[in-house]
């Protein structure tokens, strides 16, 4: 599965990374042209702007996937969880991707 391989690549950079599948794939109502919505929480994003975060993830992902990535450092994620109703909603149905 491409997401497991992405997780494995991210774990080589940060063993404590968390990867969540959101959006239509998590809800089970995706369409042929649906993108893959991900939340990634990792210390590797600390100090990086949004563009370089996305570029890093895109390089690690297999070609052929349309990604919508929200990438947080751990401290940003904790702050956002307490402030964002959108993130709260996403996490209510998100699937945590694990390497097991």
**pLDDT band for position 26 (cuts 50, 70, 90):** confident
Residue 24 has pLDDT above 80, yes or no: yes
Residue 68 structure tokens: 């919508």
Q: What is the pLDDT of residues 39-84, one digit of tens each?
A: 999 999 999 999 999 999 989 988 877 888 999 999 999 999 999 9
The CATH-assigned architecture of domain 2-97 is: 2-Layer Sandwich (3.30)
Q: Which tokens go with 78?
A: 């904790």
pLDDT at 37 over 80: yes
Query: In this structure, are residues 80 and 87 in contact, taking their beta carbons and an 8 Å threshold?
Result: yes
Among 53, 37, 47, which Cα is nearest to 75's? Answer: 47
What average pLDDT does the structure give for the chain?
90
Has residue 100 got a pLDDT over 80?
A: no
pLDDT at residue 30, rounded to an integer: 83
The pTM assigned to this predicted structure is 0.89
For Cα atoms 22, 20, 46, give the angle at the middle one, nearest 5 degrees. 120
- Nearest alpha-carbon partner for 40 in 83, 6, 88: 6
End-to-end CA distance of the chain: 12
Arithmetic mean of pLDDT, 16-32:
89
For the chain, domain boundaries: 2-97
């Amino acid at each position: 599965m491409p997401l497991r391989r992405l997780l494995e690549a991210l774990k080589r950079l940060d063993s404590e990374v968390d990867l969540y599948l959101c959006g239509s794939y998590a809800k089970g109502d995706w369409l042929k042209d649906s993108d893959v919505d991900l939340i990634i929480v990792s210390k590797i994003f600390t100090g990086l702007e949004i563009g370089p975060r996305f570029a890093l993830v895109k390089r690690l992902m297999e070609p052929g996937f349309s990604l919508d990535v929200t990438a947080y450092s751990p401290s940003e994620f904790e702050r956002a969880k307490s402030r964002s109703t959108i993130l709260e909603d996403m996490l209510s149905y998100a699937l945590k991707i694990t390497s097991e």
